[in-house]
Amino acid sequence: MLGKLPQGKDENVLVGFDKADDAGVYRLSASLALVQTVDFFTPIVDDPYTFGEIAAANSLSDVYAMGGKPLSALSIVAYPAKGDLETLEQILQGGFAKMQEAGCAVLGGHSVADDEIKFGYAVTGTIDPSRILTNSGARPGDALILTKRLGTGVIGTAIKHGKASEESIAAAVDSMRTLNRRACEIMVAFSGEHPGAVHSVTDVTGFGLIGHAREMALGSRVTIEIDSKKVEPLPGALEAIRNAQVPGGLNNNREFASCSVSLAANIAPEIETLLYDPQTSGGLLISLLAAHAPALESALRAAGVPASIIGRVLDRGEHPIVVV
């Protein structure tokens, strides 16, 4: 649909809606650009404070995926006109606390009456125009690092149906409320120490790993190979899939993207399903020179980021995505 809209001719728009990227980028000067994004969604956990934290972490993620630094945010609230105001306060408190953790100032926001609760933020950050990391720069020979484990979608569905273990709930919530800030800072510092090593980044959210890897592959005109044995699930994620705790978004992701995937015959069905799982506040997918990947993986893990090398970038083949 966006492709049908007329494109502006502002030369300062460095990343716009004509590209399927994580955030927009607008140049202010030769050394400074704005990074802008917006995201909001319905509750995925019962605790309102935790929901606020997760919504904030998710909203900030697109700025980190560009290699930017969040500066300010405006909240977006949809809440029942006669809803409990204490619950709303807890949502806002959780979001505010996470924004403070990110060093991002909440300037205000906008609310509307809605029977269905929704919450999120429009976030503005900054970046050096010469150091923007888009999702269309992956190169053949690169390795791929993923900075979080997968499974928040299926575990979230299991939570709704009362079929998730305490361990899986705790792991999923901890993952979703964890900022991508530390991963971004380490990646950006590593890129500064090794100029040209990091080529492309995106965050893995609603389209799942395969969906976001597909966007990177198409934008970069390459094929991405995912090693299914290296992809780490959250505790309880595979059990949730085996128990048919599959969200509708996962099926939509599979229906949309499966035609772009070459799947090895020995891949277990639950592993394939996990790769399509829509993530909330998922990790960064980083494409970088293979020779530097182990060092970046080690630096991330040393900082407590559960990063793993999960694949590589190939010359463009018959399919944008290959799963082995």
Position 1 pLDDT exceeds 60: no
Q: Which residue has the higher pLDDT, 16 or 285?
A: 285
Range(s) of the domain holding residue 123: 2-130
Domain CATH code at residue 175: 3.90.650.10
Short-list 145, 144, 138, CA closest to 315: 138
Final residue belonging to a domain, choices 130, 146, 172: 130
Position 21 pLDDT exceeds 60: yes
Short-list 199, 192, 69, CA closest to 145: 199
Q: 178 and 267 share a domain? A: yes
Work out the percent of the chain whose per-residue pLDDT is above 70. 98
Q: 280 and 162 share a domain? A: yes
Residues facing residue 109 across a β-bridge: 75
Position 80 pLDDT exceeds 70: yes
List, for residues 193-224, the tens digit of each pLDDT value.
Answer: 999 999 999 999 999 999 999 999 999 999 99
List, for residues 231-253, the tens digit of each pLDDT value.
Answer: 999 999 999 999 999 999 999 99
Domain CATH code at residue 32: 3.30.1330.10
Instruction: Provide mean pLDDT across the span 7-21.
Output: 81
Looking at residue 222, what is its pLDDT?
98
Instruction: Provide mean pLDDT across the span 290-301.
Output: 98
Lowest mean pLDDT among 4-8, 38-42, 235-239, 259-263: 4-8
Cα dihedral: 103, 104, 107, 111 (round 10): -130
Q: 77 and 148 share a domain? A: no
Q: 300 and 176 share a domain? A: yes
Q: 161 and 143 share a domain? A: yes
For the chain, what is the domain count? 2
Q: 124 and 153 share a domain? A: no
Work out the percent of the chain whose per-residue pLDDT is above 90. 94
Q: 98 and 44 share a domain? A: yes
Looking at residue 84, what is its pLDDT?
94
Looking at residue 156, what is its pLDDT?
95
Q: 269 and 195 share a domain? A: yes
Short-list 211, 148, 222, 207, CA closest to 183: 148
Looking at residue 5, what is its pLDDT?
65
Position 4 pLDDT exceeds 70: no
Final residue belonging to a domain, choices 130, 153, 176: 130
Instruction: Provide mean pLDDT across the span 81-92.
Output: 96
Looking at residue 22, what is its pLDDT?
79
Say if CB 191 and CB 131 are below 8 A apart.
yes
**CA gap 39, 268 in Å, rounded:** 33
Instruction: Provide mean pLDDT across the span 290-311.
Output: 98
Looking at residue 97, what is its pLDDT?
98
Instruction: Provide mean pLDDT across the span 293-319.
Output: 98
Final residue belonging to a domain, choices 103, 130, 157: 130
Q: 233 and 280 share a domain? A: yes
List, for residues 95-148, the tens digit of each pLDDT value.
Answer: 999 999 999 999 999 999 999 999 999 999 999 999 999 999 999 999 999 999
Model confidence at 17, pLDDT cuts 50, 70, 90, reads: confident
Q: 60 and 190 share a domain? A: no
**CA gap 321, 324 in Å, rounded:** 10
**CA gap 76, 37 in Å, rounded:** 12
Position 6 pLDDT exceeds 80: no
List, for residues 149-185, the tens digit of each pLDDT value.
Answer: 999 999 999 999 999 999 999 999 999 999 999 999 9
Helix 85-102 to helix 48-65 angle, to the nearest 10 degrees? 30
If you average pLDDT over every residue of the chain, what do you get?
95
Position 18 pLDDT exceeds 80: no
Q: 171 and 77 share a domain? A: no
Q: 210 and 117 share a domain? A: no
